[in-house]
């Protein structure tokens, strides 16, 4: 059981807002009175438990839900559905497209029957047969 | 109010959707935490948080910018909270058994993502922490509404007395005496579980 006179100052003391003179008096009293000291310790523990509470986190989609509610309740006047162009992640699609193009090119380039491979081979220099070489007059 | 807040406010008054979402994302946790600690039921707090932001959208023109936007948001949230508590009391729907998901929060990491039991480095300590949290939340729920509000604003939301005066409209002396009584009551309630 704490002395009411000193217990009334626990909050200000805990907050650090007790005037210096009263603070000194309270500290002297706590040092001398085991009952008050225990009560203040319990007070401090309770405050510590309070400040140690985890912060409750709101659902991440809250802004989406609120926007939908506003859209619905305003009969579509506010926060209308986004146009298709706003919702399509063009940067991502362009990246994926580029990767697919490179993959397609490499497939064609290295496949035995691929068009690119075939074209390249067709343009490779063929050795001139000996008969043809002889048929053509040499300078 | 900072320049950034003034610019945001101007966009909010124009009912700019992007500005509104920005405002919700910046303030959702503080508003939700207040509501959750006051009501004690996550589903109710989620529903109420949504209503708070809808009200903000509708009444943003009434905000004169004399305080921080977050302070005004707290004020709107507190008003909603009081109404909801009255409504729930009328429905006899507010039982302490509904202090629901505190136990679920046993395994909640700082980022707020639930994790499996196998991921908890020290399950006994986590359980102990959850027990303490459950006890503290139950003790808060036992306080009367006015005491609970000042405790949540001061000792959980860590607002200044000036801000609490602004939010509640109470004189500072009343806030301090109410807070002191609430803290002593909490001390007694928690001491029973030592």
DSSP string, A41-66: HHHHHHHHHHHTSPPPPPPTTHHHHH
Contact assignment for B20 to A7 by CB distance below 8 Å: no
Q: pLDDT-derived band of residue B111, with 50, 70 and 90 as boundaries?
A: very low
- Do B82 and B145 form a contact (C-beta atoms < 8 A)? yes
pLDDT for the residue A39 = 95
pLDDT of chain A, 139 residues: tens digit per residue: 789 999 999 999 999 999 999 999 999 999 999 999 999 999 999 999 999 898 899 999 999 999 999 999 998 889 886 555 555 677 889 999 999 999 998 888 877 665 555 555 556 667 777 777 777 776 6
The b/e string for A49-83 (b: 16+ C-beta within 10 A; e otherwise) is bbeebeebbbeeebbebbbebbbeeeeeebbeeee
Mutate to test the interface with A, among B77, B180, B182 (most CBs of A within 10 A): B180
Distance CA(A12)–CA(A9), nearest Å, equals: 5
Q: Is the pLDDT of residue B107 over 70?
A: no
Contact assignment for B49 to A8 by CB distance below 8 Å: no
Contact assignment for B54 to A70 by CB distance below 8 Å: yes
CATH architecture label of B1-104 = Orthogonal Bundle (1.10)
Q: Which residues contact A105 (CB under 8 A, 6 or more apart)?
A: A116
CA atoms within 13 A on the CB side of B149: 24
Dihedral angle computed from the Cα positions of residues A41, A44, A48 and A50, in that order, rounded to the nearest 10 degrees: 120
Residues of B in contact with A59 (CB under 8 A): 46
Cβ atoms within 10 Å, residue B35: 28
So what's the ipTM on this one? 0.78
Contact assignment for A11 to B28 by CB distance below 8 Å: no
pLDDT for the residue A125 = 66
The alpha-carbon gap from A79 to the nearest alpha carbon of chain B, in Å, equals 6
Q: pLDDT-derived band of residue B108, with 50, 70 and 90 as boundaries?
A: very low
Supply B27's token pair: 């303030």
Contact assignment for A10 to B183 by CB distance below 8 Å: yes
- The CA distances from residue A69 to A87, B60, B87, in Å, are 19, 17, 21
Distance CA(B34)–CA(B30), nearest Å, equals: 6
Which chain B residue shows the shortest CA-CA distance from A49?
B136
Rg of chain A (C-alpha set): 42
Least CB–CB distance from B190: residue in A12, A39, A46: A46
- The CA distances from residue B67 to A122, B51, B75, B82, B158, in Å, are 79, 22, 11, 21, 17
Q: Which residues contact B32 (CB under 8 A, 6 or more apart)?
A: A56, A57, A58, A62, B45, B46, B49
Q: Which residues contact A42 (CB under 8 A, 6 or more apart)?
A: B187, B190, B191, B194
Place of tokens 């102990």: B128
| pLDDT tens-place string over residues B113-154 | 333 333 445 556 665 778 888 899 999 999 999 999 999 999
Supply A79's token pair: 């926060």
- Residues of B in CB contact (< 8 Å) with A are 15, 17, 20-21, 24-25, 28-29, 31-33, 36-37, 42, 45-46, 49-50, 53-54, 57, 105, 108, 112, 132-133, 135-137, 140, 151, 155-156, 158, 176, 179-180, 183-184, 186-187, 190-191, 194
| CA A97 to the chain's CA centroid | 26
Q: Is the pLDDT of residue B103 over 60?
A: no
The model's pTM: 0.72
Distance CA(A44)–CA(B183), nearest Å, equals: 10
E-state strands within chain A: none
């Amino acid at each position: 059981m704490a002395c009411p006179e000193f217990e009334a100052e626990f909050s200000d003391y805990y907050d650090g807002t007790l005037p210096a003179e009263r603070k000194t008096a309270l500290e002297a009293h706590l040092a001398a009175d085991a009952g008050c000291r225990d009560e203040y310790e319990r007070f401090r523990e309770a405050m510590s438990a309070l400040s140690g509470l985890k912060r409750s986190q709101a659902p991440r989609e809250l802004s989406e839900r609120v926007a939908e509610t506003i859209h619905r309740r305003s009969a579509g006047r506010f926060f209308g559905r986004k146009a298709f162009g706003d919702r399509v992640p063009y940067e991502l699609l362009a990246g994926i497209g580029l990767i697919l193009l490179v993959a397609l090119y490499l497939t064609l380039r290295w496949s035995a029957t691929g068009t690119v491979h075939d074209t390249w081979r067709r343009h490779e220099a063929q050795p001139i047969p000996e008969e043809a070489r002889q048929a053509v007059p040499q300078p | 109010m900072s320049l950034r807040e003034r610019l945001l406010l101007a966009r909010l008054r124009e009912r700019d959707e992007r500005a509104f979402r920005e405002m919700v994302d910046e303030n959702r946790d503080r508003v939700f935490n207040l509501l959750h600690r006051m009501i004690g039921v996550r589903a109710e707090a989620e529903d109420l948080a949504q209503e708070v932001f809808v009200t903000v959208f509708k009444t943003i023109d009434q905000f004169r910018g004399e305080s921080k936007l977050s302070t005004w948001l707290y004020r709107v949230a507190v008003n909603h909270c009081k109404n909801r508590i009255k409504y729930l009391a009328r429905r006899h729907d507010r039982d302490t058994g509904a202090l629901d998901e505190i136990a679920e929060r046993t395994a909640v990491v700082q980022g707020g993502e639930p994790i499996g039991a196998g991921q908890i480095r020290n399950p006994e300590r986590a359980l102990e922490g959850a027990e303490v949290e459950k006890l503290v939340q139950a003790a808060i729920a036992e306080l009367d509404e006015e005491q609970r509000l000042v405790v949540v604003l001061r000792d959980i939301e860590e607002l200044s007395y000036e801000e609490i005066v602004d939010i509640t409209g109470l004189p500072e002396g009343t806030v301090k005496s109410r807070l002191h009584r609430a803290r002593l009551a909490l001390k007694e309630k928690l001491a029973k579980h030592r």
